[in-house]
Amino acid sequence: MPVILTVRNHTPQIEDDCFIAQNATIIGNVTMGKQCSIWFNAVVRGDVNFIKMGNKVNVQDGVVIHGTYKTAPTTIGNNVSIGHNALIHGCTIKDDVLIGMGSIVMDGCIIESNSIIAAGAVVTKNTIVKSGSIYAGVPAKKVKDISQELISGEINRIADNYITYSSWFKE
């Protein structure tokens, strides 16, 4: 069974059609939209500030989502994929975004819509990733503009695939 805990009178709000892996942890002031999935060993920890997710958000294996007490909640839009072992902390991720495996997005960052954060990138505090950009590196910098093919071929494809994958565990 997943660990779903109430903290400071906040109980996670999870839509009925979401998939939560058996060893995922969701704590406190967390709100999830429809068709979200929280995968194996992921931790969504809304104990010190709120975490709000839109629809079709997939939080892949080993991801940690957290915030900073009183100063930095985490807000995630619709159709967002967060790759394996990423760290999302006190930031805003807008709609139609792909966060690559092992990347870090720090406090105060804003990842605008239709953007990709490459695997292993470190998006440092208060960075604003403009819509339609691909950021990579340590620290992450813009490497190019995103093409329409990447939006439909990667961002949308991965988000849709994770809805399919989660359905396998509901059978």
Is residue 171 over pLDDT 80?
A: no
The single-letter code of the amino acid at 145 is D
User: What are 22-65's pLDDT values in tens digits?
Assistant: 999 999 999 999 999 999 999 999 999 999 999 999 999 999 99
Domains observed in the chain: 3-166 (2.160.10.10)
Q: What is the pLDDT of residue 131?
A: 96
β-pairing verdict for 25-31 and 3-5: parallel
Q: Is 77 exposed, middle or buried (0-12, 13-18, 19+ CB in 10 A)?
A: buried
**Residue recorded with tokens 């695939």:** 161
